[in-house]
């Protein structure tokens, strides 16, 4: 038997396309070639390798045992060549004009802000395109080329072209409002009881996890599009759900939320990864940004600098000197029922609005003229000073700093 010949890169890619697209006709359309050319290319490849790659006895060609083994090699060769070409392109292009990043909603906002602040100082001429998504939508944006890198949780069925590196994890805890029936149960909440109460669940905007549920235990659930809305509903007693511990720690400390003890565990780790397409070599700014996220998994961050400590103290003092604009939804609803607040002679009603443009629920109390009114008069309400808490829908956590490069 003669030795196998040397297949061309084009033959390997046609072979991959036939499998990925489910047949000769579909591969022909995807590659903008005729079906006869696709069939001829596969026949030549089989002749070169001296093995049958596809079983054509059925209507739809299927891989032979040899085909299954060699398909993995074909994919590896194709990805290596794409990676080499991308690396060469990056070396010749120099510093990129912009960096596009998509981050999972579970990732710490404080850490993200610190990293992006350092990025702006390091690369002042590079623009940033930032998006926030949940679940498979992060991987989808990287896979289709909309974003160069992403911070994503683990996803089943991740495309082969996606490369990922671990960058830490987020601790998730099941929480509920203190007046919710589940909060009245001492000890571990039985799963059977947990199933009877509405669970708030994040929904995936992509199709990567279509038909799959993660961590859904209840028989009834509400599907929400963002984490801030989920946080606001949880604080007001509408169901129970899992939340990042950092996101709700202030609420847990202040008693606005209660951590449930459930049979599946009182907490679990949500792993995070830096992901990118393996066939696209990142530029200098993108590589630097990726490294900052990867360094988070290596240990504790460096302490705040003196300047950062001074800025934080000034910010807290500024907050303490201003009226607090956010109030609990239940308190404002009760006040609105008793009597509407009057601002400049116009009756104001509680409204559902967005906090920071993320669609969370907040109730806006009356300030301004009402702040100067004496106590006890109907329809008047003093503006209260800031409480040491975070409003519903906003994530507030201890400051972090970057690890030195």
pLDDT in tens, 218-241: 677 888 878 888 999 999 988 888
Note the pLDDT of residue 150. 92
pLDDT in tens, 44-93: 999 889 899 998 888 788 899 999 999 999 998 988 888 788 767 766 76
Note the pLDDT of residue 119. 92
* Residue 249 to residue 352: CA distance in whole angstroms: 25
Is 314 within the bounds of a domain?
Answer: no
Note the pLDDT of residue 388. 43
Tell me the DSSP string of 191-259: HHHHHTS-EEEEPPSSSTTTT--SS---SSEEEES-HHHHHHHHHTTS-BEEEEHHHHHHHHHHTSSEE
Note the pLDDT of residue 352. 34
Asked if residue 86 and residue 22 are part of one domain, the reply reads: yes
pLDDT category of residue 308 using cuts at 50, 70 and 90: low
Asked if residue 235 and residue 220 are part of one domain, the reply reads: yes
* Residue 60 to residue 98: CA distance in whole angstroms: 44
Is 380 within the bounds of a domain?
Answer: no
* Residue 147 to residue 128: CA distance in whole angstroms: 11
* Residue 198 to residue 326: CA distance in whole angstroms: 26
**Lowest mean pLDDT, pick from 232-246, 295-309, 373-387:** 373-387
Is 317 within the bounds of a domain?
Answer: no
* Residue 349 to residue 79: CA distance in whole angstroms: 59
pLDDT category of residue 394 using cuts at 50, 70 and 90: very low
Tell me the DSSP string of 307-338: HHHHHHHHHHHHHHTS---EE-HHHHHHHHHH
Tell me what the mean pLDDT of segment 181-205 comes to.
85
Asked if residue 254 and residue 331 are part of one domain, the reply reads: no
Asked if residue 133 and residue 105 are part of one domain, the reply reads: yes
Is 388 within the bounds of a domain?
Answer: no
Query: Greater confidence, 110 or 349?
Result: 110
Note the pLDDT of residue 128. 92
Asked if residue 247 and residue 176 are part of one domain, the reply reads: yes
Note the pLDDT of residue 16. 92
- Residue ending a domain, choose from 228, 255, 270: 270
Asked if residue 275 and residue 165 are part of one domain, the reply reads: yes
The CB density around residue 30, as the number of other CB atoms within 10 Å, is 13
Closest CA to 42 of 58, 30, 56: 56
CB 99 within 8 A of CB 386: no
Is 377 within the bounds of a domain?
Answer: no
* Residue 232 to residue 26: CA distance in whole angstroms: 47
CATH of residue 245: 3.40.190.290
Asked if residue 154 and residue 41 are part of one domain, the reply reads: no
The DSSP output letter for 352 is -
CATH of residue 13: 1.10.10.10
CATH of residue 165: 3.40.190.10
Asked if residue 214 and residue 191 are part of one domain, the reply reads: yes
Note the pLDDT of residue 363. 34
What is the tally of structural domains in the chain? 4
* Mean pLDDT score across all residues of the chain: 74
CB 258 within 8 A of CB 175: yes
Asked if residue 249 and residue 192 are part of one domain, the reply reads: yes
Asked if residue 287 and residue 261 are part of one domain, the reply reads: no
The yes-or-no verdict on residue 323 having pLDDT over 70 is no
Asked if residue 174 and residue 294 are part of one domain, the reply reads: no
Q: Give the three-state DSSP class for 294.
A: helix
Asked if residue 262 and residue 288 are part of one domain, the reply reads: no
Note the pLDDT of residue 12. 92
- Residue ending a domain, choose from 93, 123, 138: 93
Give the 3-state secondary structure percentages of the chain, helix then strand then coil, rounded to 5. Answer: 40, 20, 40
Closest CA to 54 of 104, 81, 14: 14
Domain that holds residue 210: 170-270
Is 344 within the bounds of a domain?
Answer: yes
Note the pLDDT of residue 267. 81
The yes-or-no verdict on residue 109 having pLDDT over 50 is yes
* Residue 105 to residue 151: CA distance in whole angstroms: 9
pLDDT in tens, 328-352: 444 444 444 444 433 333 333 333 3
Burial of 344 (0-12, 13-18, 19+ CB in 10 A): exposed
The yes-or-no verdict on residue 370 having pLDDT over 50 is no
């Amino acid at each position: 038997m003669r030795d196998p010949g040397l297949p061309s890169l084009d033959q390997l890619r046609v072979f991959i396309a036939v499998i990925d697209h489910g047949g000769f006709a579909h591969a022909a359309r995807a590659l903008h070639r005729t079906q006869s050319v696709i069939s001829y290319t596969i026949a030549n490849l089989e002749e070169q390798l001296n093995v049958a790659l596809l079983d054509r006895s059925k209507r739809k060609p299927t891989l032979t045992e040899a085909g299954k083994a060699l398909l993995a090699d074909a994919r590896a060769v194709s990805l290596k060549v794409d990676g080499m070409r991308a690396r060469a392109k990056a070396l010749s292009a120099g510093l990129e004009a912009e960096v596009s990043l998509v981050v999972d909603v579970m990732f710490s906002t404080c850490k993200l802000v610190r990293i992006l602040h350092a990025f702006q100082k390091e690369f002042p001429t590079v623009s940033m395109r930032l998006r926030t998504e949940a679940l498979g939508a992060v991987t989808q944006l990287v896979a289709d080329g909309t974003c160069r890198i992403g911070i994503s949780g683990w996803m089943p069925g991740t495309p082969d072209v996606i490369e990922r590196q671990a960058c830490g994890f987020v601790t998730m805890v099941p929480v509920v409002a203190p007046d919710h029936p589940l909060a009245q149960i001492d000890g571990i909440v039985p799963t059977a009881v947990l199933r009877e109460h509405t669970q708030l669940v994040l929904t995936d905007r992509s199709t990567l996890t279509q038909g799959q549920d993660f961590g859904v235990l209840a028989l009834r659930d509400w599907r929400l599009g963002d984490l801030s809305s989920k946080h606001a509903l949880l604080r007001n007693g509408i169901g129970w759900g899992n939340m990042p511990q950092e996101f709700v720690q202030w609420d847990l400390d202040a008693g606005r939320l209660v951590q449930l003890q459930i049979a599946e565990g009182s907490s679990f780790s949500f792993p995070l990864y830096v992901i990118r397409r393996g066939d696209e070599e990142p530029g200098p700014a993108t590589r630097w940004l990726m490294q900052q996220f990867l360094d988070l998994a290596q240990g504790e961050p460096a302490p705040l600098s003196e300047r950062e400590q001074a800025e934080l103290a000034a910010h807290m003092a500024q907050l303490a000197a201003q009226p607090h604009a956010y109030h609990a939804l239940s308190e404002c609803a009760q006040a609105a029922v008793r009597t509407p607040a009057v601002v400049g002679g116009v009756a104001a009603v509680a409204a559902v609005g967005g906090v920071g443009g993320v669609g969370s629920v907040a109730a806006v109390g009356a300030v301004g003229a009402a702040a100067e009114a004496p106590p006890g008069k109907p329809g008047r309400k003093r503006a209260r000073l800031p409480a040491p808490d975070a409003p519903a829908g906003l994530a507030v956590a201890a400051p972090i700093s970057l690890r030195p490069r």
